[in-house]
Amino acid sequence: MATAGQIDHVRLKRRIDQCLTPEQRATLDASVDQIRELPARHMLVRAGELVMASTLLLEGTICRYIDDRNGARQLVALHVPGDFVDLHGYPLKRLEHDVMALGPVRVAVWQHETLHRLTGERPDLTRMLWYATLLDAAMHRMWIFRVGRLGAEGRIAHFVAELHARLQAVGLAGDGSFALPLKQIDLADACGLTNVHVNRVLRSLREQDIMTWRSGEVTIHDPVRLRRIGEFDPAYLYIDADCPD
């Protein structure tokens, strides 16, 4: 069992953390079964395998993805610190997608038997965990819209604008810059584009002085234009929403 205080610095999607009482935070913290440090490209969950634990990302970046029969990859979610990564596996027991660390990560782990006891004893915390999964669902719907309806430039602009908003909400992004430890091929897989196409779009956005991405660091020069190109409205992230009852 992890000791109290090991995750109290991490905002559970920040909006949720702001809604927790000190006692609720302490209860979640004390119930952690394990803190793990994992290397880049480590597989946390493989599609179809039995899932016995759920993880909260403390440091680093984790993705969820699906490969087609030819090996082409589609990223279906990207997780930043403060996100519960595979909470869906608690009721589902098996996931239809793979979960992988994109870079070195640090995670807090709850065994499902621990979550079962916690949710049985604390319906108030159950509602907060449910809220976390609903936020994930809202982001999934927007990712579907992005890949299905936006052009190449719009997809990348929306992706960058969303990540900036999410990282800013947990204190990991400045006014216009943040670390993005993805390879260009990862960005292509997230946006449903080829690596060559992504390279052209990034060059175009740089030449328009809208944003640059160099050596894992993104700098947004013109956030208004970036959001307009990506048709980005952060309302679906519920960053400023009222706390759930």
Instruction: Work out the average pLDDT over 127-143.
Output: 93
Q: Give the β-pairing of 98-101 and 177-179.
A: unpaired
Q: List the domains of the chain with CATH numbers.
A: 15-142 (2.60.120.10), 152-237 (1.10.10.10)
Render pLDDT for 213-240 as a digit per residue (tens, 0 to 9): 998 899 999 999 999 999 999 999 998 8
Q: What's the CA angle centered on 134, arms 183 and 2, to 5 degrees?
A: 75
pTM value is: 0.92
Nearest-angstrom CA–CA distance, 231 and 227: 6
- Contacts of 13 by beta carbon, 8 Å cutoff, 6+ apart: 82, 83, 132, 135, 169, 170
Render pLDDT for 49-66 as a digit per residue (tens, 0 to 9): 999 999 999 999 999 999
